[in-house]
Structures are given as C-alpha cells and as structure tokens.
A and B are shown apart, each in its own frame.
Chain A
Amino acid sequence: MDTTTRHIKYQADCDPTFAPAIKAIPGCEKLDSCIQCGTCSGICPLSIYMDMPPRRIMNLVRYGFKREVMNSNTVWLCSACYACTVECPRQIKVTDVMYALKQMAIKERLYPKRFPMVVLANQFYKMVRHRGRMNEIHLVTRLYLLTNWFKLLEMARLGIELIRRGRFSVKPDNIERRAELHAILDYEKRYPPTEAAPK
C-alpha cells in the first residue's frame, strides 16, 4: 500500500488571486513586508494548538497557497488578542489578516462543517442583526445545539450556578430602533460594492 503523498508545490497549485484579495482588506496591506521572524508565533498564546504557526500562514497567504491556509485550523484558533499585531517588528496587523481569512472562509464556505468557531460567529452575527444585542445564554445554547448538544448537559452545573447568582438572563434583550440598525447593516445590499456609492 502506497501512502506517500506529493509534497512538491508547482506554481499552478498557487492561487494568484488569493494574496491580492487579502491585501485589499484594511489592515492587511503590509503583508508583503513580512521577514518571517516568527515573533507572531512566539508571542501567540494559542499557537500551541495551531497546526501551522501564524508566521507560516503569513507566508502561505502572500504566495498564494489558499488551499493549505484554508485547511489549517490556525485562523480558527485566533482569539484576537492582538499580541502578534503589537509585537510584529514590521508592524503587520496579523490579527487583521486572521480576520480577513475568516471572512473569506465564511463567505466561500471553506471551513470544516460544524466547526464551533464558525457556528458561534454565524449565530452571533444573526442574533445581533435580529435584536441588536447579544444574549450569552441564548448564544451558547444555540452553539451547542448545532455542534455538540451533549455539551449542554455538561454545562448544567455552570448554568445552575449562574441562575443562582442572578447572572442568567433568559429574556433576550432588544434595542428599540431595530429598523435603523437594519438600514445600516443592509447598506451594502442597497448599494453593492461594485456600484459607486452615493455621496
């Protein structure tokens, strides 16, 4: 049985549109000046669980290895603590690059199914869009129902404790002027980015 896989990369394996798309997002413009020093990985508290250190992600993004980046768990482990952004000697906003990659992955559905981080982001997004505010209990409940509902049982202890201490707000909170919020959030729907926005 032959289990070896090809590890060479041909230029055709790279996606030339990948880096320009990421660099166009605010905060990611300095990506090319990375010197691969590894400060981002060294300072990252989550790097211990990443399959690729952030430094490697930077290099893979700038040279178009989209598939490899999107298959990595690195961006989904980023908790946006900004340590890399602050310490980078080239002042690359690494956190923003991670955000840009998450946005791209979500838009193009390039993430592992039921990946809790994505589910959380999507549920959060929907809830805030709907109500204007986030309710932690509802959010976590939805997260576990969609990913691993056994977890809900595990969380019972914590839930009871929270109720006992008056920290469990069951009633979802809504803002009053929801129409105003929707007008803001739907701006792109009315004026798609390709068309010139009105002055």
Chain B
Amino acid sequence: MTKRYTYFPGCSILGTGRACEESTRAVFAELGVELDDLEDWNCCGATAYMSVDEHKALALAARNLALADTKECPELTTPCSGCYLVLNKTQRYMEEYPRVGDKVKCALKDAGLNYTGRVRVRHMLDILVHDVGLDEVRKHVKRPLKNAKIAPYYGCQTVRPYLDFDHQHYPMTIDRLAEALGATPVHFPLKTRCCGGSQMGTLPNVAQRLCYAILREARRQGANLILSVCPLCHFNLDSYQPDIRRRFGEDVSITTMYYTQLVGLAFGMDPETLGLHRNMTWDGSWLEREVLAGATA
C-alpha cells in the first residue's frame, strides 16, 4: 500500500539545504512513500517571526495549516526540524489558547482560508521509522554500512518541546535507524544539544563554540560520521569546520550528512542523487575508505 503525506519543504530546502530535500525525496520514493507538495506554501516564520510578533507568527504559520487542511491527506510532514516545531507549536497553541486560536482563525477567514484543525504535523524521521518501519528499511539495504560509527545528532527542535515518539533528552530513534542500516551508533551525550541555530550568523563566536563541543565530542566518542536531521544543524556542523579549527586551534573535522543521505547510501543509491556532493565535508572516497573497506569481505 502506498503511503501518502502532504509535504512542506521549507525555505532552507530551496537554498543551502537542497541536499536534504534531494535525499529525502529519493529515499521516500524508494520506500514507496508519496509526498504530495503543499502548493504555494509560505515560510513558517522560524524563530525570528516569533521574536517580533506572536499573533503574526502564529497566523503566518497557520496559513500553511489552512492550506494543508484542504488536502486529502491531513498528515503534514516536513524534513526541517524548525518548520516541524513552528507548525506544531502553532497548531497546539491555537488549541491550548482559544483566544489566540480564534483570532488566528478570523485572520485566516478574512483572507478566504479555513482551518478546521484536522491537520497533524509529523516529522519525516517519525514517518520513516514508525510508519514505514525499520523492517521495511532493512529490506532495502543493499550496502550495509558496517564500519560507519555514527554520532546521531537530533538537534534541539526535532525533539523539543513536542517529541512524542521518543525520549526528549536521550532519544534512540536515529540510533536504531543506523543499526538497521548496518552501522554502529556511538554513545553521544550531545545528541539533543543545540548547535546555536541562527546565532551562527549573528554571534558566530557563540554558535561556533557550541558546534565545536558537538564535533569534538563526536570524535572523542569514536564516531566517523555525524548524522543530522535539520538543515540548519547540518549547515552549522558541516560548513564551519575550518572556522572552528581556526578559532579553537583544534582539528575537529568529521564527515557530516543528513540521515536520509546515509539511508540512501545503504540503499545503494548514487551519492550524486542524494546530494552528497553538496556537503562541505563530503569526500568522494569517504564511503570506500571509512565504511566499506573490509566490510564487504
């Protein structure tokens, strides 16, 4: 049976996070999951909108919920953890605070939109591991990633404050997914600690220190790969390694990729299809050298 979800890509996906979308689409297509794009979606507002105006931030995100409300499938999914959080929070606050919800609904109505509340916001990771299931994932694995030692990095907004399918402080979903791909997850105490998010642009010394701790600890725990979920986390961990080395005088280089990219690699997909060439830390020989060498024998 084909599973179908309404799909909200998010702004990052159009730019720096392209590889996130490419790998997500490739992997979900392989697993027979259909992603039905939400037409004319708008930015969820991220953390910035909420800093300026509460009502506008909720109304902005709610437009997407209203658009999804008209779709056949009420399950709205997004690969970006920031979007996942904001859409989820908007939906919950509209229910939890009727005063706020009614006003947002009035604003939507004024613009000719209607939100009934039937939409359910879901993370793609949740869909992959729970709807598709790890057994199904295992069936598609053509290239077990025996030597991949993974530091699973969930980041903050994937798990907080709304994660309902795993524990919020020390989740194991990606760990179990990695195991299904034949890889070995390492103990990673920083798996849900913030990377600094948009502070990388505003206060780089702050965000780089947070990323430094994460990268350093992943290496210390014996990982050769950090798996991330969210485009922003990935951007911070992937792109700033040279800056961090310079700032802290320590080599913390480590390959980073989206979890969907790793799933695709295990499925035997071509790195180009998965957008791996877009990652700053990607090196074409990595897979052969670090993961597959000795494993196939």
Query: Could you tell me which A residues sit within 8 Å of B by CB distance?
Result: 25-27, 45-46, 48-49, 77, 79-83, 85-87, 93, 95, 99-100, 102-103, 106, 116-117, 119-122, 124-125, 128, 132-137, 139-140, 143, 157-158, 161-162, 165-169, 173, 175-177, 180-181, 183-185, 187-188, 190-191, 197-199
Provide the bound-state CA to CA distance between A27 and B201, in Å. 27
22 inter-chain pairs at a CB distance below 8 angstroms, sorted by A residue, are A45-B194, A45-B210, A79-B156, A80-B47, A82-B161, A83-B156, A87-B169, A124-B46, A133-B11, A134-B46, A136-B11, A140-B201, A157-B242, A165-B277, A175-B40, A180-B111, A180-B112, A181-B42, A183-B107, A183-B112, A184-B113, A198-B106
Q: Is B292 an interface residue (CB 8 A)?
A: no
B-chain residues with CB within 8 Å of residue A184 when the two chains form the complex:
59-60, 62-63, 107-108, 110-111, 113
A-chain residues with CB within 8 Å of residue B203 when the two chains form the complex:
49, 77, 116-117
Interface string of B5-37 (1 = CB under 8 A from A): 000000110111111000000000000000000
Provide the bound-state CA to CA distance between A117 and B202, in Å. 6
Provide the bound-state CA to CA distance between A162 and B280, in Å. 8
With A79-B199, A166-B278, A184-B113 as contacts: A197 and B51 at CB distance below 8 Å: no
Give A94 Cβ to nearest chain B Cβ, in Å: 10
Query: Could you tell me which B residues sit within 8 Å of A by CB distance?
Result: 11-12, 14-19, 40-43, 45-56, 59-60, 62-63, 85, 93, 96-97, 99-100, 102-103, 106-108, 110-113, 156-157, 160-161, 168-169, 192-194, 196-199, 201-203, 206-207, 209-210, 239, 242, 277-280
B-chain residues with CB within 8 Å of residue A139 when the two chains form the complex:
201
Give A69 Cβ to nearest chain B Cβ, in Å: 15
Name which residue of chain B comes closest to A49, CB basis.
Answer: B206
Give B52 Cβ to nearest chain A Cβ, in Å: 5
Give B15 Cβ to nearest chain A Cβ, in Å: 4
A-chain residues with CB within 8 Å of residue B43 when the two chains form the complex:
128, 132-134
Residue of A177, A184, A197 most packed against chain B (CB within 10 A): A184
Ranked 10 nearest A-B pairs via Cβ: A81-B156, A81-B194, A187-B107, A183-B111, A124-B48, A82-B160, A116-B202, A102-B51, A132-B42, A134-B11
B-chain residues with CB within 8 Å of residue A137 when the two chains form the complex:
15
Give A90 Cβ to nearest chain B Cβ, in Å: 14
B54: contacting residue among A25, A85, A125, CB under 8 A:
A25
Name which residue of chain A comes closest to B282, CB basis.
Answer: A165
B-chain residues with CB within 8 Å of residue A132 when the two chains form the complex:
42-43
Name which residue of chain A comes closest to B205, CB basis.
Answer: A49
Are B196 and A121 neighbours in the complex by a CB distance under 8 Å?
no
Residue of A87, A187, A188 most packed against chain B (CB within 10 A): A187
A-chain residues with CB within 8 Å of residue B51 when the two chains form the complex:
99, 102-103, 106, 117, 121
Give B165 Cβ to nearest chain A Cβ, in Å: 15
A-chain residues with CB within 8 Å of residue B53 when the two chains form the complex:
103, 125
Are B59 and A79 neighbours in the complex by a CB distance under 8 Å?
no
Are A77 and B206 neighbours in the complex by a CB distance under 8 Å?
yes
**Can you name 19 extra interface pairs (CB under 8 A) apart from A77-B206, A187-B110?**
A46-B206, A46-B210, A79-B196, A80-B50, A81-B160, A102-B51, A103-B53, A125-B48, A125-B52, A128-B43, A128-B49, A136-B11, A180-B113, A183-B110, A184-B62, A184-B108, A184-B113, A185-B56, A188-B107
Are B54 and A103 neighbours in the complex by a CB distance under 8 Å?
yes
Name which residue of chain B comes closest to A44, CB basis.
Answer: B194
B11: contacting residue among A117, A122, A125, A173, CB under 8 A:
A173
Name which residue of chain B comes closest to A136, CB basis.
Answer: B15
Give A98 Cβ to nearest chain B Cβ, in Å: 9
B-chain residues with CB within 8 Å of residue A45 when the two chains form the complex:
193-194, 196, 210
Provide the bound-state CA to CA distance between A23 and B72, in Å. 39
Are A165 and B100 neighbours in the complex by a CB distance under 8 Å?
no
Are A169 and B14 neighbours in the complex by a CB distance under 8 Å?
yes
Name which residue of chain A comes closest to B210, CB basis.
Answer: A45
B-chain residues with CB within 8 Å of residue A181 when the two chains form the complex:
42, 60, 63, 111
Are A185 and B59 neighbours in the complex by a CB distance under 8 Å?
yes
Provide the bound-state CA to CA distance between A162 and B278, in Å. 8
B18: contacting residue among A46, A48, A87, A167, CB under 8 A:
A167
Provide the bound-state CA to CA distance between A25 and B97, in Å. 10
Provide the bound-state CA to CA distance between A5 and B279, in Å. 53
